[in-house]
Amino acid sequence: MHFIVLSSSRGTTFQSTIEAMQRGDLTATCLGLITDRSDRGCIEKAKAAGIPVFVVEKIADEDRESYDKRVHLQIQKIVEKSQIANLQSPILAAMGWMFIFTPWFIGQWKNRIINVHPALLPKHGGKGMFGHHVHDAVLAAHETESGVTIHLMDEGVDTGKILVQKKCSVLPSDTSVSLQARVQELEKEWYPRVLEMIENGQIVLPDITEGKVENV
For a pLDDT cut of 90, what percent of the chain falls above it?
Answer: 87
**How many helices and strands (H and E) does the chain possess?**
6, 7
CB neighbour burial string for 80-101, b if at least 16 within 10 angstroms, e if fewer: eeeeeeeeebbbbbbbbbeeeb
CA distance 117 to 119: 6
Map residue 150 onto helix, strand or coil.
Answer: strand
Q: Is residue 84 very low, low, confident or very high in pLDDT (cuts 50, 70, 90)?
A: low
pLDDT at 216: 46
pLDDT at 82: 85
pLDDT at 88: 56
CA distance 210 to 167: 33
101-159 pLDDT, tens per residue?
999 999 999 999 999 999 999 999 999 999 999 999 999 999 999 999 999 999 999 99
pLDDT at 86: 58
Sheet of 162-169: strands edge to edge?
53-55, 29-35, 2-6, 91-94, 113-117, 145-152, 162-169
On the 0-12 / 13-18 / 19+ scale of CB atoms within 10 A, 40 is buried
Average pLDDT over residues 10-15: 96
Pairing of the two strands 2-6 and 53-55: unpaired
Q: Is residue 208 very low, low, confident or very high in pLDDT (cuts 50, 70, 90)?
A: low
Q: Is residue 206 very low, low, confident or very high in pLDDT (cuts 50, 70, 90)?
A: confident
First to last CA, the chain: 25
pLDDT at 83: 73
What is the helix (H) or strand (E) element at residue 169, kind and residue range? strand 162-169
- Ordered domains of the chain (ranges, CATH): 2-199 (3.40.50.170)
Q: Is residue 213 very low, low, confident or very high in pLDDT (cuts 50, 70, 90)?
A: very low
132 included as an active-site residue:
no
214: pLDDT strictly greater than 90: no
User: Among the options 72, 117, 124, 151, which is catalytic?
Assistant: 117
For a pLDDT cut of 70, what percent of the chain falls above it?
Answer: 93
Pairing of the two strands 53-55 and 113-117: unpaired
Contact 33/53 with Cβ under 8 angstroms? yes
pLDDT at 54: 98
What is the overall mean pLDDT for the chain?
92
212: pLDDT strictly greater than 90: no
